[in-house]
A and B are shown apart, each in its own frame.
Chain A
Amino acid sequence: MADIAITSPAKSPSHLGAGLKRGGARLWVGAALVAILVLVALFAPVLAPHDPLEQDLLSAQLPPAWMQGGDPAYFLGTDSLGRCVLSRLIYSARTAVIVALIAASLAALIGVALGLFAGSFGGWVDQVISRLIDVWMAFPPVLLSIVLAAVIGAGLTSVIVAIVVVDWTRFARVVRAETMVQLTRDYAAAARAIGLSRAKILRLEILPNLVPLLVTLLAVEMGIAILVEVILSFVGISVSGDTPTWGSMIAEGRQIVYQAPWIMAFPIGCIIASVIGLNLLGDGLRLALDPVQRS
């Protein structure tokens, strides 16, 4: 039977290397920005030159060190209470990272589960979940967390709950649609023909196909979570007043924006860099993780 033997393709591709290459510059830039954010949050006490709460009214509103009148001890200057801006930026990263990680993961968990459910069962299950999605998508998270803050008190918990309660819909909607598409593919029928149960088909066959999509969504969602937290701390219903956050820094800087614009500019820069970093990382990972994708 030698005449029908097939020799496998000659090249032996390294899958990991090929994946990283597909990710391209986006992957690297995004990963670098996110890595910086996470490291800064983790090592905040080591990196911060000052206690972020320490006030020094005699050196209030100092400009950054490279500007005229700047003090090298306060590299990015001080705010109106004389607190070190750099240290406050560094400590704020902790709040951002915590919210991004917890809120986005929980939203993903709930959304993926319900999306798979709706997409695979169809019928009334799908109807109920889809209507639920419609209703919750119409609800602004900021408004919801104001309500939550009134009910369970302001704080990180109500911020996270508000984001999860509204944003699971982003995952559920996409996962539901994609599950329906994947289930019509031949490989899903082939999986049924080898006797796999519905649960096994979803877990072993469908879910792996959703991974690249989910990674992108998760990264984007983390960026959104950071933004929501910024908005809420800007209006003062996020964490308690003595914990520094980018949102509260912007709120404080806003009042003296003409005298000391840098106080507001730096946290805005941090937010933009984090969100862009997360989006780029998500994009890069999607390309890197999808073995079928070819540019």
Chain B
Amino acid sequence: MTATLAIENLKVAIGDSNVLRGVSLDVQPGEVRGLVGESGAGKSMLGRAVLGLLPANAVIASGRITFEGRDLLAMRETERRDLLGRRIALIPQDPMTSLNPVKRVGSQIGSLLRHHLSLSKRAALTRAAELLTEVAIREPERVLSLYPHEISGGMRQRVLIAMAFACDPSLVIADEPTTALDVTVQRQVLQLVERLRLRYGSAVLFITHDLGVVAKICRTMTVLHAGRVLEEGETAEVLVRPHHAYTRALLAATPRADRPAEALRPVPPALIEQLWSDARKLDSMSVARPA
């Protein structure tokens, strides 16, 4: 079975600093994989690399990214654009800024549908209303005629989720979709993602720093630090019997309802220091230094 997404030994550098140091990871069809790491671990960069949204000064030094067996880095720009939004979709991090402020909700969903499915304007609006119903928005017709600033953050994130699943994608990259939201809204958003992915049979790469979220919805998980994969496996396995010291430290730093708050331990600075120096050692080995 071809993996939906396969990343092999991906190295990305921005200027002089390496952000990804040979990351390999795959997502099988229908799988929900959590990608966990602290900020700066390179998890968002990984998502952006798949989508072709790396900053202009970033360089992919080596590695392959294949989507359903097709090499994303080698294919032509037009081919890749045809996949984006249709077969590979993004649920962005910040619902407040990810919608165009001067376009009505309906016109934003509509232009996506018209772009990929070549629907007529009227058909696109009808389909957009159906999509909003799927993400449990009442009175969808009225919401379609509103501007993003007229609806709440939770509702905007629903609109973005509806857009991500609009064209029946086989891979959805969720880039910390709950981070900018209220805790009470977070659970609802997770439920929605879970429901829509089951309905459309999409695989999900769920980027987050929240182990609680991973435990809830991801079957498999990958722990990333300093652009390296430290540990991966079945979520249940990794969370119960973590092999890497960093994963254990992360778990100890995660608040849980069944443990007193005093049991919380920050990740030891010495460990982080150690990991970074390992990463730098890796850099100096791969770069041939002129004498």
Contacts and interface: CB of A to CB of B under 8 A. Distances in A.
A208 B102 contact: yes
B282 interface: no
Nearest to B115: A196
Main secondary structure of the interface of B (DSSP, over half): mixed
A185 interface: yes
Interface in B147-172: 147, 149-152, 154-155, 158, 160, 163
Contact of A292 (B84, B146, B147, B160): B147
Nearest to B85: A194
A4 B102 contact: no
Residue picked from A13, A122, A189, most chain B C-beta under 10 Å: A189
A193 B137 contact: no
A258 B99 CA distance: 63
A200 B100 CA distance: 14
Interface stretch (B188-196, B220-228, B233-241, B269-277): B188-196
B103 A193 contact: no
Interface in A188-215: 189-197, 200, 204-205, 208-209, 211
B97 interface: yes
B32 interface: no
A151 interface: no
Nearest to B191: A4
B81 to A, nearest CB: 4
A99 B99 CA distance: 39
B204 interface: no
Contacts of A191: 100
Chain A interface size, under 10 / 10 to 19 / 20 to 34 / 35 or more:
20 to 34
Contact of A185 (B93, B97, B139, B149): B97
A80 B188 CA distance: 82
Contact of B136 (A1, A190, A196): A1
Nearest to A290: B102
B86 interface: yes
A7 B139 contact: yes
A209 B100 contact: yes
A187 B146 CA distance: 17
Contacts, number: 108
Contacts of B112: 194
B90 interface: yes
Nearest to B190: A4
B138 A291 contact: no
Nearest to B94: A186
A6 interface: yes
Interface residues of B, number: 48
A193 B86 CA distance: 10
A295 to B, nearest CB: 14
A8 interface: yes
Contact of B115 (A13, A185, A200): A200
Interface string A96-107: 000000000000
A72 interface: no
Contacts of B191: 1, 4
Contact of A4 (B53, B136, B150, B152): B136
A5 interface: yes
Interface in A1-47: 1, 3-9, 12-13, 15
B136 A208 contact: no
B81 A8 contact: no
A5 B136 contact: yes
Nearest to A208: B102
A211 B102 contact: yes
B51 A193 contact: yes
Nearest to A5: B136
A5 to B, nearest CB: 4
B116 interface: yes
B53 A189 contact: yes
Contact of B100 (A3, A192, A208): A208
B69 interface: no
Interface in B11-59: 51-53, 56
A15 B106 CA distance: 15
B101 A292 contact: yes
A195 B53 CA distance: 11
Given A5-B137, A9-B151, A193 B85 contact: yes
A230 to B, nearest CB: 36
Interface of B: 51-53, 56, 80-86, 89-90, 92-94, 97-103, 111-112, 115-116, 136-139, 142-143, 146-147, 149-152, 154-155, 158, 160, 163, 188, 191-192, 195
Interface of A: 1, 3-9, 12-13, 15, 122, 185-187, 189-197, 200, 204-205, 208-209, 211, 290-292
Given A5-B138, A8-B151, 9 more contacts: A4-B191, A8-B155, A122-B56, A193-B84, A195-B83, A197-B81, A204-B111, A205-B103, A291-B149
23 contacts: A1-B136, A1-B195, A3-B188, A5-B136, A9-B146, A9-B151, A13-B150, A122-B56, A187-B97, A187-B99, A187-B100, A189-B92, A190-B98, A192-B51, A193-B51, A194-B89, A194-B116, A195-B85, A195-B115, A205-B103, A208-B100, A209-B102, A291-B149
